[in-house]
Structure 1
Amino acid sequence: MTDERNSPMTDADSTTTGPLAPDDITADSPFTLPGFFDALADGQLVAARCTECETQMLPPRPACYNCGSRAVTLSDQPRTGEVISYTSVVRPPSAFDHLAPITVAVVELDSSARLTGRVDAPLEDVAIGDRVELRVHAPETVDIDSEFDLSYEEEWPLHVFELV
């Protein structure tokens, strides 16, 4: 992780502001999935915000999926929000098989950005409109089978929403 990511992100920081050229996007860029999880491991939940149409993208992307603009910037996000949709996954990926069934929800954070994640509650205890808070866990503290991780995922933290 670079020192830049340990400091607060601002619109003036050239590593966190578009328009971004393809050469500006490296494997550890905060606009990539590995960069998103690196920031999450450091305690930062960040989204990209398009400065053209105001769309928020979580995890961040180097270009807006709404209008195609590369004029994007990163912004810190709150960890609290509201369940807007949810379901049960009866046959999860192999690493999570022993946790089945898993409740998964789309959560609209208090900033209006949306993030999908596992909810630490049975399906029957979750409802649209429930308030949740995001918790981040180091991979070694979670009871999942790391044998199924891809090499670049081994150190990615896991995020779970808890009912509040």
Structure 2
Amino acid sequence: MTDHELDADSPLTLPGFFDALADGDLLGGVCADCGQVLIPPRPACYECGSRAVDVESQPNTGHVHSYTEVHTAPPAFEGDAPYTVAVVELDSGGRLLGRVDAAYEDVAIDDPVELSVRAPTEEERAVALSYETEWPIHEFELR
């Protein structure tokens, strides 16, 4: 197991995860005991409870596992509704939730997708928590 000190820069924390994502590296924790892929990484496996978690780069491709359309968005995103969000199973087996850059009627279970990462807009920064303002935004695009 890779030994990671748990501080704000650790890839086992959300700030560390988003720092890596901003640099183009999608990280996941991989449990050395049961093989569960944890995205974002965390210090303990949610499948078996092991603390033997390695941090590894993950593929940015996968397929739609589940999806829905958001009609009643949080107040800060009311103007974006309706929009599509999906749970995507990456090619590594890990799952990540995110917006899909496609209309709901154009998405289907098992559609192939690719993760893209961008800087947040000024509007997104304005509604983010103070420590999230520079975190990148991830979205999935149909392939």
Task: Please state which band the TM-score falls in when normalised by the shorter chain.
Answer: over 0.9
What does residue 152 of structure 1 align with? 131
CA RMSD of aligned residues (A): 1.4
Which consecutive segments of 4 or more residues in structure 1 shift more than 4 A? Answer: none
1:118 matched to 2:118 = no
Kindly report which structure 2 residues correspond to 1:53-132, keeping only aligned pairs within 5 A, or say none: 53-132=34-113
Query: How far apart are the structure 2 equivalents of 1:54 and 1:145?
Result: 35
Counterpart CA distance in 2 for 1:54 and 1:150 is 33
TM-score scaled by structure 2?
0.94
* Paired residues, number: 143
Unmatched tracts of structure 1, length 5 or more: 1-10, 16-23
Q: Equivalent residue for 1:40?
A: 21
TM-score, normalised to structure 1, is: 0.82
Counterpart of 2:6 in structure 1 is 25
Output the CA distance in 1 between the equivalents of 2:115 and 2:123: 18
Q: Name the structure with the higher strand share.
A: 2
Determine the C-alpha separation between the residues in 2 that align with 1:94 and 1:146. 14
Identity of aligned residues (%): 59
Q: CA offsets, 1:83-139, max 9 Å, x none?
A: 010001112233322111110001111111111100001100000010100000111
- Give structure 2 stretches of 5+ with no counterpart: none
Q: CA deviation at 1:146?
A: 2.4
